[in-house]
């Protein structure tokens, strides 16, 4: 699927690059124009970091696990990436309801390129959001251990952003309106976040929960980012990158497949 | 010497079936290049469904379409390049400016870089929106949005312009205005215009050829004069009623209408 799309017309073709570029640019423009949304979406991660970080800090320390803020911050950064990415994917539903999607679907461009532009745009926005949260964690007390590993951190943030933007697009391709939205929040986004090990170490959980955390892609993102930022990882960079990379390719393929099927 | 007139749209036995409904039922018709052609029909007659199939966003259940010599099944992108469309519902990005909406379109239709600014300026001046080009579309009135959509539909110099109820909800002055632009381009560039409407006067004044469509079928077609002669009536409205009957049609609410209704209900 993915290869077929890339082969057709080819990405090196200037016209195709322009299609992807203008879709990407549109997402960014819309993001920077909605300042209230940017500020609003920073509230929740910061609240989590401050309340849980300081609230459980003493207990975490007493249990011999070290600083909880250090442990929590990478998960909180990915939380904002997860939410922003998934919602920019789901924004497709608004485009559909308010008609703009039709404008893109009748254009003489392969849908795969449209999907790619949307995904890259959504991912970029999610990464920016992740960066803002990262910088806000610093005054709260978060200290990255090794600054040389920041590029590695960026790779994990990028992979998580692509995974969840594609997932959002896939979901949005199946939904006609926002009615199922609450369902997705409660049964998908929240479990993905809470069971990713963002809040607690994954050792010593009941087997059922272990199973879920193992198939939760965000688990590997949190583990990888923690490795890059505070030098603590359970699976290692190789496993994390490999799992995230494969999931990203799979979801990008699934997203394009479902997007291809949309009829207005 | 007899000049052969090119058929720019050819539709043969087109069918669209949904689970429990036949929206378009074996429709066949032809549109000559340079002509203004109207689909006239009551609500839910299958006009929009038909336009959606002609413009490649809906798969027909059966039948064949040839647009500007191309079959959408085999060469979708060729077909897509050949037409512009103004949808029934607005399809602008309201968080972008008029200029940005136009530029987005220009990129998607691969208009050469050096032509983009020139053409956008030309068209925005043509629909008298150039002064407001840097305003967000959400600040536009309904009539301005329609004009912008028409300008956008013309940006890539299409051979055919599809308009799905283009003047729905506009006041008479704006309707007049909008049609003047379209007739102008039709005359100057020889662009074919295909539109749907349920306004009789609009069909009669604008279209050379009218197809009356009801229950997914074309019940009659010809010039307004032909239709009046056929039904032995004096006005197109009488001809229309004679052909499709007096029953009021129910139409299922679209997703957007459902949303609007829900919002309205919540506000109450």
| Residue range A106-148, pLDDT digits in tens | 999 999 999 999 999 999 999 999 999 999 999 999 999 988 8
Nearest to B80 among A26, A107, A264 (CB): A107
Nearest-by-Cβ selection for B255 from A95, A97, A109: A97
pLDDT tens track for A166-186: 999 999 998 877 787 778 878
Question: In this predicted structure, what is the pLDDT of residue B94?
Answer: 93
Contacts of A197 (CB under 8 A, 6+ apart): A75, A213, A219, A222, A223
pLDDT of A8 above 80: no
Mean pLDDT confidence for B226-246: 86
- The tens digit of pLDDT for each residue in A181-220 reads 778 878 889 999 999 999 999 888 999 999 999 999 999 9
Q: What mean pLDDT value characterizes chain A?
A: 90
d(CA A179, CA B259): 10
Residue A87 near residue A144, CB atoms below 8 Å: no
- Measured distance CA(A224)–CA(A239) in Å, rounded: 9
HEC string of chain A equals CHHHHHHCCCCCCHHHHHHHHHHHHHHHHHHHHCHHHHHHHHHHHHHHHHHHHHHCHHHHHHCCCCCHHHHHHHHHHHHHHHHHHHHHHHHHHHHHHCCHHHHHHCCCCCHHHHHHHHHHHHHHHHHHHHHHHHHHHHHHCCCCCCHHHHHHHHHHHHHHHHHHHHHHHHHHHHCCCHHHHHHHHHHHHHHHHHCCCCCCCCCCCCHHHHHHHHHCHHHHHHHHHHHHHHCCCCCCHHHHHHHHHHHHHHHHHHHHHHHHCCCC
Does pLDDT of B268 surpass 80? no
Average pLDDT (B107-120) is: 94
- What residue ranges define each of the domains in chain B, with the CATH number in brackets? 7-263 (3.40.50.300)
- Do the chains contact at B87 and A99, CB–CB below 8 Å? yes
A103 touches chain B (CB under 8 A): yes
A104 and chain B in contact, CB less than 8 A:
yes
Of A15, A19, A103, the CB nearest to B91: A103
pLDDT band at A7 (very low <50, low <70, confident <90, very high): very low
Where residue B202 falls (left for φ over 0; alpha for ψ -120 to 50; beta otherwise) is: alpha
Give pTM, 2 decimals. Answer: 0.87
Residues A23 and A116: their CA atoms lie apart, in Å, by: 9
CA B162, CA A105: separation in Å to the nearest integer? 15
For chain B, give the mean pLDDT: 88
Q: What is the pLDDT of residue A3?
A: 46
CB contact under 8 Å between B89 and A103, yes or no, is no
């Amino acid at each position: 699927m993915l290869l077929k799309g890339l082969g057709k017309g080819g990405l090196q073709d200037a016209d195709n690059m322009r299609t992807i570029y203008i879709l990407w640019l549109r997402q960014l423009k819309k993001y920077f124009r909605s300042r209230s949304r940017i500020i609003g979406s920073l509230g929740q991660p910061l609240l989590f970091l401050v309340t849980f970080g300081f609230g459980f800090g003493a207990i975490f320390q007493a249990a011999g696990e070290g600083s909880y803020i250090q442990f929590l911050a990478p998960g909180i950064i990915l939380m904002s990436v997860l939410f922003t990415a998934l919602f920019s994917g789901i924004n497709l539903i608004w485009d559909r309801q308010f008609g703009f999607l039709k404008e893109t679907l009748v254009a003489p461009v392969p849908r795969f390129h449209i999907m790619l532009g949307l995904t890259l745009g959504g991912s970029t926005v999610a990464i920016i959001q992740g960066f803002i949260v990262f910088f806000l964690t610093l005054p709260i007390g978060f200290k990255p251990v090794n600054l040389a590993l920041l590029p590695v951190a960026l790779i994990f943030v990028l992979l998580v952003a692509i995974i969840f933007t594609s997932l959002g697009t896939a979901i949005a391709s199946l939904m006609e309106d926002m009615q199922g939205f609450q369902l997705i929040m409660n049964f998908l986004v929240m479990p993905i976040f809470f069971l990713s090990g963002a809040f607690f170490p994954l050792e010593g959980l009941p087997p059922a929960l272990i199973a879920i955390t193992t198939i939760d892609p965000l688990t590997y993102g949190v583990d990888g980012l923690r490795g890059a930022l505070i030098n603590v990882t359970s699976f290692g960079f190789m496993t994390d990158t490999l799992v995230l990379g494969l999931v990203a390719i799979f979801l990008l393929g699934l997203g394009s497949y479902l997007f291809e099927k949309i009829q207005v | 010497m007899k000049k052969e007139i090119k058929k720019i749209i050819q539709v043969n036995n087109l069918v669209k079936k949904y689970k429990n409904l036949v929206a378009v039922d074996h429709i066949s018709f032809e549109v000559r290049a340079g002509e203004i052609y109207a689909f006239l029909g009551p609500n839910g007659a299958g006009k929009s469904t038909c336009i959606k199939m002609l413009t490649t966003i809906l798969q027909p259940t059966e039948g064949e379409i040839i647009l500007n010599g191309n079959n959408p099944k085999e060469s979708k992108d060729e077909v897509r390049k050949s037409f512009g469309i103004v949808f029934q519902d607005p399809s602008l990005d309201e968080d972008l400016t008029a200029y940005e909406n136009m530029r987005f379109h220009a990129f998607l239709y691969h208009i050469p870089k050096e032509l983009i600014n020139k053409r956008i300026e030309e068209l925005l001046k043509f629909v008298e929106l150039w002064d407001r080009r840097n305003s967000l579309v959400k600040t536009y009135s309904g009539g301005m949005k329609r004009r912008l959509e028409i300008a956008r539909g013309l940006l890539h110099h299409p051979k055919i312009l599809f308009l799905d109820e283009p003047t729905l909800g506009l006041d008479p002055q704006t309707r007049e205005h909008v049609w003047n632009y379209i007739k102008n381009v039709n005359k100057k560039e020889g662009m074919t215009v295909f539109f749907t409407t349920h306004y009789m006067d609009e069909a009669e004044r604008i279209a050379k050829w009218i197809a009356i469509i009801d229950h997914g079928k074309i019940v009659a077609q010809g010039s307004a004069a032909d239709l009046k002669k056929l039904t032995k009536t004096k006005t197109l409205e009488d001809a229309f009623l004679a052909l499709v009957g007096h029953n009021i049609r129910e139409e299922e609410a679209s997703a957007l209408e459902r949303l609007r209704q829900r919002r309205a209900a919540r506000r109450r």
